[in-house]
A and B are shown apart, each in its own frame.
Chain A
Amino acid sequence: KAGVTQTPRYLIKTRGQQVTLSCSPISGHRSVSWYQQTPGQGLQFLFEYFSETQRNKGNFPGRFSGRQFSNSRSEMNVSTLELGDSALYLCASSVSSQGVEQYFGPGTRLTVT
């Protein structure tokens, strides 16, 4: 069974631009969560989607948004990029929304210049 895939793997953007990252969960998994990883703040929860609905949201500004499609694939969008948004963005999928094992993708490395 294929693991969680994320595209693109690397991205360079300029301040003020917007970016869309994509995540394909493991087949059969309906819950997708997004995390931001930085050296200073570590791994921080962004949001969780289940059955196309945002179920939970972390403490991030409204510039960070996401959505989930009927096939469970998910996208996250960051608008008006800031230098501090440079990070590794990780997607994790699980069978249900009640947590249990979350399987992570390799992440998308976003650099904002």
Chain B
Amino acid sequence: GESVGLHLPTLSVQEGDNSIINCAYSNSASDYFIWYKQESGKGPQFIIDIRSNMDKRQGQRVTVLLNKTVKHLSLQIAATQPGDSAVYFCAENTRNQAGTALIFGKGTTLSVSS
């Protein structure tokens, strides 16, 4: 079936480093992608999104890159901080006539050591 997946289940970085979290998707018809951050005991928190007509979008300390040719999505976090430690999910939004549904990847656990 169609799914969105992440390349690595875990990523460990030092405080101040830049982090890159990758995601591969399989549905070429998807037109909207989102990155979520989930901290322990909480629901997913929206980080940044990108539409399929864009290649790059920047937020505060975060950048999302979309490569539609190879169906690849990445989240870059600049100057990673201990507070960035969490599970990160990419999700694709499949639209149909009925409505929408988010398809999530498995998640990457980011651990930041100081």
Contact = CB atoms under 8 A, between A and B. Distances in A.
Interface of A: 4, 31, 33, 35, 42-45, 48, 50, 55-56, 58, 90, 92, 97-107
Chain B interface category by residue count: 20 to 34
A31 B102 CA distance: 13
A99 B32 contact: yes
Given A99-B32, A99-B93, A56 B99 contact: yes
Contacts of A100: 32, 49
Interface stretch (B15-23, B40-48, B56-64, B68-76): B40-48
B44 A99 contact: no
B46 A50 contact: no
B22 to A, nearest CB: 16
A44 B89 CA distance: 12
Max chain B Cβ within 10 angstroms of own Cβ: one of A43, A58, A98: A43
Interface string B76-101: 00000000000001010101101111
A104 B44 CA distance: 6
A106 B89 CA distance: 16
A4 B43 CA distance: 10
A33 B98 CA distance: 13
Interface in B29-57: 32, 34, 36, 41-46, 49
A99 B93 CA distance: 7
Contacts of A102: 34, 46, 102
Given A42-B104, A105-B43, A55 B98 contact: yes
Contacts of A107: 42-43
